[in-house]
Structure 1
């Protein structure tokens, strides 16, 4: 067996499928995006080289900055609202036993297995200014029940609520899995020492979940930046560009406005932002780990 795996042709045959998939599904499209980002290609006909014109136009485009702001705003919502609640819910689920644990785990994950189209239209009915659930609740409480939840001023908050709710199950399940992998002996030792549930959570669960939290936060930021389907079906970026997100803005410019070269310049910036976010997060978590070791 050792002789078999030392054969370079055998090694090449084993890594070739994955390597070819990476090259043709990821590397080549990225290289083509970089190339088309320097052209005025419309998707049809010739692609004329125009240098940095797409990028100079992009940085002056208010729609781009609005979409980037909304994407970063959503990332903050994921990190500061969705994930703290998700990790607490995961910790509570871990304490439950038997059927209750399985039942609530499934309940929290249900939104993630429902079609995005169904989710969008369901929330459209909930937000409806005439017969929507939210306005009916306001009326029953004695408030004015004619709020246009997807109108100007309210739309971005309404969209953020849907996106945070819809993605909650994934984050919770990842944290739940991470907590399940913590050795129960540590919790038993803490209980013997008289530690409370809050102390156990802060001193054992959170420190041992560092890698899981890092991965989940990174995925949350990337998910916020590439958010499109739900927004497209819910508001299509409206009113105006108020609920425009980066991926939706890219789609609109490339495939609706037929500015394929301009759309590819947006995709290049998108990849750079994702890589920068990953590097920054890795450094932040590495620095925290160093401080903890020194302490």
Structure 2
């Protein structure tokens, strides 16, 4: 009996492929078409209505000389490099603490740490805007009550990015804690028992067993944090509007402003592809470095 070709196998089992039609239809309309169309528009000058004018790669060339984009990219990188170590550091410490069997009400702690992630980002932004307000914010009330001057969290160019970092850390620590907790539960107990026999201290077990064994999970969460950091939008948009003086403007917020406030759809499309390229390159190098591969 002759082997059947792939096409023949698909034809015989075509009924099963019918179940993929709804997914493929929605994927094509809401994912594939926007991706292709946005690249097409990145090569045009278009305000959202009327006829688009083909201008080639001018939108991409303009990005390299756009000072506002450079500022937004610097702000985004600053928030990424500042928030990611805090998020992953706290997440790993909390995961180690929650992994101990003697901790009471463990399930409630896990749910409590995860709650910020499932809370609406808009609600989080509004609440922290109130908490960090210079005039009537609760945080500045306590700062002033212990004898210090009020901190202009949302109105200072120096503090605006730090305020965003505080919110990002609070929101994402719990999410990464759950991921790291799953990784910790896969570490063999035999390693810790052998370390106890050899007289290993808590810190030695943490740095020589936990951290090396958690390396793939840490790399995974670091890549997720990188992608999420470069896509920051809601927090600065709600809390500071990108100000003051563009000190907290993110790349995605600038993309939004270009497309939906200034109606430069072609330029906004080009920004989206440049942002994709930045995230792709950053993630690629993280995977190469984190996995220990050579020849980058």
1:102 to 107, 121, 124: 107
**Paired position in structure 2 for 1:293:** none
Query: Is 1:8–2:10 an aligned residue pair?
Result: yes
**Paired position in structure 1 for 2:79:** 74
Query: Is 1:56–2:58 an aligned residue pair?
Result: no
**Paired position in structure 1 for 2:152:** 148
2:256 to 251, 276, 287: 251
| Cα distance between partner residues in 1 of 2:206 and 2:41 | 50
- How far is 1:50 from its partner? 0.6
Deviating 4+ runs (over 6 angstroms): none
SS at match of 2:199: coil
Q: What are the residue-to-residue correspondences of 1:170-189 with 2, within 5 Å?
A: 170-189=175-194
SS at match of 2:277: helix
Q: Deviations over 1:69-92 (max 9, x none)?
A: 111112212332211121111111
The answer to whether the Cα contact below 8 Å between 1:77 and 1:164 also exists between their aligned partners in 2 is: no
| Cα distance between partner residues in 2 of 1:47 and 1:82 | 43
Indicate how the Cα distance of structure 1 residues 181 and 238 shifts in structure 2: closer, same or farther if over 3 A, else same: same
- How far is 1:51 from its partner? 1.2
Q: Which runs of 5+ in 2 are unaligned?
A: none
2:240 to 235, 238, 241: 235
- How far is 1:160 from its partner? 1.6
TM-score normalised by L of structure 2: 0.88
**Paired position in structure 1 for 2:291:** 286
In terms of fraction of residues, the more helix-rich structure is 1
Query: Is 1:260–2:265 an aligned residue pair?
Result: yes
| Cα distance between partner residues in 1 of 2:30 and 2:206 | 42
- How far is 1:255 from its partner? 0.8
The answer to whether the Cα contact below 8 Å between 2:230 and 2:251 also exists between their aligned partners in 1 is: yes
1:208 to 209, 213, 228: 213
**Paired position in structure 1 for 2:92:** 87
- How far is 1:20 from its partner? 5.8
**Paired position in structure 2 for 1:163:** 168
**Paired position in structure 1 for 2:202:** 197
Q: Deviations over 1:178-202 (max 9, x none)?
A: 1112222322232223222211111
- How far is 1:25 from its partner? 4.3
Indicate how the Cα distance of structure 1 residues 22 and 193 shifts in structure 2: closer, same or farther if over 3 A, else same: farther
Query: Is 1:129–2:134 an aligned residue pair?
Result: yes
Number of aligned pairs?
A: 285
Indicate how the Cα distance of structure 1 residues 14 and 68 shifts in structure 2: closer, same or farther if over 3 A, else same: farther
TM-score normalised by L of structure 1: 0.88
- How far is 1:172 from its partner? 1.3
SS at match of 1:287: coil
Query: Is 1:33–2:38 an aligned residue pair?
Result: yes
**Paired position in structure 2 for 1:115:** 120
Q: Which runs of 5+ in 1 are unaligned?
A: 291-295
| Cα distance between partner residues in 1 of 2:18 and 2:219 | 31
